[in-house]
Amino acid sequence: MQHSLKKTILAAALALAGAQAGAVTVWTLDGSSGATEGLTYTLTGDLATGSFNLAIEGINVAGVDTIGGRTFLEDLSFNPPTGYTGASLGGLAAIDGGLNASGCNGSGNFFCFDGVHQAVAGSTMSLDFTITASSFEGYVPHLKVDWNGSANNYNLVSTDMVAAVPEPETYAMFLAGLGAMGFVARRRQKLQQA
């Protein structure tokens, strides 16, 4: 009885660890932050492959984008994770160094995509890129974005992103799975005793 229960608990722990190792992580920076000029930035990363997507919402939307008139995203920069060796965005290799209002500047502990020139088409934008690093454990992305457009006075977005908190449904599914595994283990135990 004890042996079967230990096996069940070990199997559950291994399943949970495996699910977390391949999990996709989401960080956000919403429009309530004055640093974003009303835009919402969502970074989704598959930490197992180093594949990332930056989605930006609210571009040039009246009442949301506090500046407006954006025509393209000029440059993009992040702090590097542990063991960083390179990054690529649509064939554009990242250069070492940070970003200021004049563009990538080659200084600071950042990597920068210089000359992204992603045109604004609608109110959303999506950028796919990869980061090569030895570890993403504990990684907190610091995002820097430089916009260009008719306002010509956009603030440089420069702030840490926040990891998204799992929805209550995620915890409910996890607990339901654990309950089902316990039920199966208990039933097996009763069948073996009979």
Report the C-alpha gap between 138 and 68 in whole angstroms.
34
H helices within the chain, ranges in order? 2-21, 168-193
Residue 159 within a domain: yes
Residues of the chain with pLDDT under 70: 1-22, 31-34, 152-153, 164-174
Residue 178 within a domain: no
Residue 143: partners with Cβ closer than 8 Å, 6 or more residues away: 29, 41, 43, 54, 76, 77, 78, 157, 158, 159, 160, 161
155 lies in which domain range? 26-166
pLDDT value at residue 18: 45
Strand pairing class (70-78; 111-113)? antiparallel
Residue 180 within a domain: no
Residue 127 within a domain: yes
pLDDT tens digits for range 12-34: 544 444 444 457 899 988 766 66
pLDDT value at residue 155: 73
Residue 31 within a domain: yes
Residue 21 within a domain: no
Residue 87 within a domain: yes
How many domains does the chain fold into? 1
pLDDT value at residue 75: 92
Residue 57 within a domain: yes
Label residue 85 exposed, middle or buried (CB < 10 Å: 0-12, 13-18, 19+).
exposed
pTM over 0.75: no
pLDDT tens digits for range 86-120: 999 998 999 999 988 788 988 889 999 999 999 99
> Domain containing 102 — which CATH number?
2.60.40.290
Report the C-alpha gap between 181 and 6 in whole angstroms.
12
